[in-house]
Amino acid sequence: MAQLAEVGEHLLAAAMAAPYLERDEEHALALRWKNHADEAAMHKLARAHMRLVIALAVRFRHYGVSLADLIQEGHVGLLEAAARFEPDRDVRFSTYATWWIRASMQNYVLHNWSIVRGGTSSAQKALFFNLRRMRAKLAQGGSSRTGTEVFSQIAEVLGVSRADVEVMDARLSGPDVSLNAQIGDSESAVAVERMAMLVDDKPRPDEVVGLALDTDRRVAWLHEALTALSERERRILRERRLADEAATLEALGDRLGISKERVRQIESRAMEKLREALTKRHMENAAEAML
pTM, entire model: 0.52
Q: Would you call 258 exposed, middle or buried from its count of C-beta atoms within 10 A (0-12, 13-18, 19+)?
A: middle
CATH no. for 2-112 = 1.20.120.1810
Strand partners, 182: 193
* Separation of alpha carbons 92 and 49, rounded Å: 11
Contacts 24+ apart (CB under 8 A), 68-73: 68/6, 68/7, 68/8, 69/108, 69/112, 70/105, 70/108, 70/109, 71/7, 71/11, 73/104, 73/105, 73/107, 73/108
Which residue from 7, 109, 5, 108 is spatially nearest to 63, judged by alpha carbons?
A: 109
Provide the phi-psi class of 159: left if phi over 0, else alpha when psi is between -120 and 50, else beta: left
Tell me the per-residue pLDDT of 102-146, one tens digit each, with 9 for 90 and over.
989 988 888 877 666 655 666 667 777 777 777 767 666 655 566
Rounded to a whole number of angstroms, the CA Rg of the chain reads 35
Q: What is the pLDDT of residue 95?
A: 92
- Going from the first residue of the chain to its last (291 residues), give the mean pLDDT of each consecutive group of 10, the final group possibly shorter: 54 75 90 89 89 89 84 91 88 92 88 66 70 70 64 78 75 68 65 76 82 81 83 88 87 90 91 85 71 59
Name the phi and psi angles at 143, rounded to 5: -70, 140
Cβ atoms of 67 and 61 within 8 Å: the answer is: yes
Four-way CATH pick for 205-290: 1.10.10.10, 3.30.60.50, 3.40.50.10320, 1.10.1270.20: 1.10.10.10
Cβ atoms of 88 and 39 within 8 Å: the answer is: no
